[in-house]
Each structure stands twice: as C-alpha cells, then as structure tokens.
Amino acid sequence: MIRAIGLAKDYGEKHVLRGLDFELERGGFLVVTGANGSGKTTLLRLCAGLAIPTGGSLEVEPERGAIGFLGHEPLVYRELTALENLDLYGRLYRVPERRERIGMLLERFGLWESRRERAAKLSRGQLQRLALCRSLLHKPELLILDEPFSGLDPIAIDRVAGLLNEVACMHEANTIIVVTHDIGAALEVADTIWLMGRDRDKAGNVIPGARIQESYNLIERGLAWRDGVAATPEFVVTLREIRARFPSL
C-alpha cells in the first residue's frame, strides 16, 4: 500500500523528515503521534500526494481519487449548509446513491438535526464531524486524518473512534492513517502506533529531521480490535510507556 525508502522532506534549510524507511500494508490502522514539530503532518501530506519528497522514495498504491484526506482544519464551505457541503462533494466525486450515503453519514455523526444549518453556525466539533463525513463520502481505500479528535467532547470522540473502527473492518483493503496527540484514543482504534521524534548525537544535541523513534504493535500486545480495551491493564501500561517517551523526543 505505502512504501518509503530513505524518505526525506526539507523546506528550504529546514529539515523536517529524514531517512524514513517503512512499509504499510493494506488493511492497517496506523496512528502517528509525537511531540509538536516532529513531522507528523508533513508525513501525512506526503502520503496523500499533497507534498513532494526532497529525498528518498515513496510509493503510494491507491490513486488520488481513492484517498480520503482530512487536514488539521475542517475545510468546508461556511456559506453552505452541512447537507449542501456533502452534496457538492458527492457530485464532484460522482458518488453512487449519494443521497443515501450522505444521510447515513449525517446520522452516524450526529449531524442529521443540523443538516440544514449553514456551516458558519456550526460548532468546532460539528465542523470537525462534517469534515469527517466529507472525507468518507466516496468510500476511500486509504483514509488519512490529521487530528480527527480535535475539538470533540468525549462522547463525540467515542462516536468517531467507533465509526473509524467500522470503516477499517468494512473491507480488508481499507487502510487508515491518523495523526493525533490523544494517545488514549489512539490505543482504542489503532493496530500500530508510530512515535515520531528526532535523534540526538553523543553530546545530546538534536539532529535535524524527524524519524520514527518507536513502533508499537498493538496486535502483539493484545490491544487491537478489542472491546473495552481502555479498562485493561495492558492499555494502562502501554499508555504510560508512550507518554514516558515524550520528554526525550
């Protein structure tokens, strides 16, 4: 699905990513987390085809039309209603039976009662959910989400996490990549977590350009695809382990 060898990304003299080697198979649910400025969003943009590597190679199998992308900001047309926003994108993507698909998504994300409200009048959480509906509208094979839990209350986070799990299980080819600082939510949905950060030299100085510092296989830890996982000892141990790494990133 996605393969990188020596992947690097610079913006002028600023080294954002360097030397990334990874292979992400179809059907995976990857969460990328790490400190601010550790290249998480840049990695997502590279995978989505919205940025071009400055070094190494990156192969992404699905075409752009089969990728769903949600950036950090919920980019929707504020002058249109929630329903009109989704109908517009449904027409652009030529979504079969788009009205039924739109209705289902609005209902699942708790937006049905607000469907005729202009986006400008929706709350931050509602806008985030509307943007998620848009990214799922055309049933993408690869879904890339940057901070999808941002601005959501705990109930909404649970709803979004549940729906993302459903999307991941709809077809073995569905692949999801999420960037989030919410490690608890990450542990509830992912099967793999990457922790991004920068290396240090022998003197302790930071080496420019972030890399994958740790990869946590949640399947091996018995945390993936498990109901009520947040109440398990394994969840608490892994949560503490990941949080303990942040000061060194």
pLDDT at 4 over 70: yes
When pLDDT is cut at 50, 70 and 90, the band that residue 149 belongs to is confident
Distance CA 4, CA 90 (A): 32
pTM of the model: 0.88
**Mean pLDDT, rounded, of the chain:** 90
More confident residue, 209 or 108: 209
pLDDT at 124 over 90: no
Distance CA 203, CA 209 (A): 17
**For the segment 47-87, what is each residue's pLDDT rounded down to a tens digit?**
999 999 999 999 998 887 789 998 888 789 999 999 999 99
**Chain centre to alpha carbon of residue 22:** 17
pLDDT at 90 over 80: yes
For the chain, the domains span: 27-51+141-249, 74-138
Q: What is the pLDDT of residue 217?
A: 96
**For the segment 153-192, what is each residue's pLDDT rounded down to a tens digit?**
888 788 778 878 877 776 656 899 999 999 999 999 999 9
Other Cβ atoms less than 10 A from the Cβ of 173: the count is: 13
pLDDT at 37 over 90: no
* CA neighbours closer than 13 Å in the CB half-sphere of residue 92: 10
- Least confident residue range of 112-121, 125-134, 175-184, 210-219: 125-134
Distance CA 182, CA 6 (A): 28
Architecture of domain 27-51+141-249: 3-Layer(aba) Sandwich (3.40)
pLDDT at 107 over 70: yes
Q: What is the pLDDT of residue 241?
A: 95
Return the axis-axis angle of helices 124-136 and 154-170, rounded to nearest 10°: 0
Distance CA 32, CA 195 (A): 6
